[in-house]
Amino acid sequence: MLKLQQQAYEQEIALASRIQRRILSSANPAIHPRLEIATFHMPHQGVGGDLFDFVRVNDQQTLFYVGDVSGKGISAALVMSNLQGQIRTLANLDVPLPTLVAQLHSRLLQLYGDDEAGFVTLFIGLLSEAQDGRYELHYFNAGHPPPFLLRRSGPVEALPATFPMLGIAIPGQLALETQEPVRLLLEPGDALFAYTDGLIEQPNPQGRSLDVEALEQRLHSGMPTSAREFLNAIQAFWEEHKGSAPLEDDISLVLCRLH
C-alpha cells in the first residue's frame, strides 16, 4: 500500500512538473518582431516557485517579469501559478504598472494570511517603443536580485531593488499605487538579462556561492551574438562553478535583446 501511494505521489509530481514547464514555456520568444528572447529554467524539486513571462500589451508595449516565490516544491508552485495567471490578466486589461504591482501585493497578503510566512521577489518592466526607434523601460524591482542592462555601447548597469519584496506587510511602507516606476531610455542592440537567486546562491563543492559581483564581472567580458548563445554561456559559467555540488534551488535565466 505504501509503495502504491508513493508511486501515485511521484506520478502527481511528474504531472505537476510537466504542467509547470508548459506554463513557463508560454513565454513566447516570438512575442514581438523587435524583441529577441531566450529563457532557461531548471526546477529544484520537479516543481518550484520561479516565474517569468512576456505579455504583448499592444503593438507598442510588452510587459515582462521575472520572479521567485519563497520556499520550494508544491506550495511555491501553487503561488507561482496563481501569480502567473493574475499578471497576465492584469496586463491584458492594460492596468497601470503601479496598480498591477499593488494588486499582486494584496493578493499575496491574502494567500499567505496571518498564519503563513511567505513572500515573492519580482522584477517587472514595461517596454514601450518610441517613435524614433528607441525604447522606454519603466520598471519596478521588488526585492529581486538585480537584473543587468547590457548596452550595445557602454558599461553593464545593474538595476537594483526599488522597494521590498511583495507579500509582507511593512509598517510605514508607502502605498504601492503611489510609487513611480524607474524610467530608462534604451537603444536598439541593448539587452536585459534577469535571473533568479538560484543562479547566484548556488555553492560550489567548497561551499562558496556564485555571487552578484562574480556574475557582473562575467558580463563585462562581452555578449555573444544571439540571445540563446548568451544564455548558453551563462549556463556554462554557472555549471563550471557548481561542479559536482548538488542543485540548491530553482534557477531561471531570461534575456531580452532589442532590435
Query: Is the pLDDT score of 46 beyond 90?
Result: no
pLDDT at 21: 60
Rounded CA gap, 27 and 231, in Å?
15
When the pLDDT of each residue in the chain is averaged and rounded to a whole number, the result is 87
pLDDT, tens digit (0-9, with 9 covering 90-100), for 234-249 = 999 999 999 999 998 8
Domains (ranges, CATH) in the chain? 28-258 (3.60.40.10)
pLDDT at 11: 61
In the chain, the amino acid numbered 160 is P
pLDDT, tens digit (0-9, with 9 covering 90-100), for 49-77 = 899 999 999 888 999 999 999 887 778 88
pLDDT grade for 171, boundaries at 50, 70 and 90: confident
Provide mean pLDDT across the span 117-144: 93
Query: Is the pLDDT score of 16 beyond 70?
Result: no
pLDDT grade for 223, boundaries at 50, 70 and 90: low
pLDDT at 130: 82
Q: Report the b/e string of 10-21 with b at 16+ CB within 10 A.
A: eeebeebbeebe
Provide mean pLDDT across the span 160-184: 91
Rounded CA gap, 186 and 133, in Å?
10
pLDDT at 10: 63
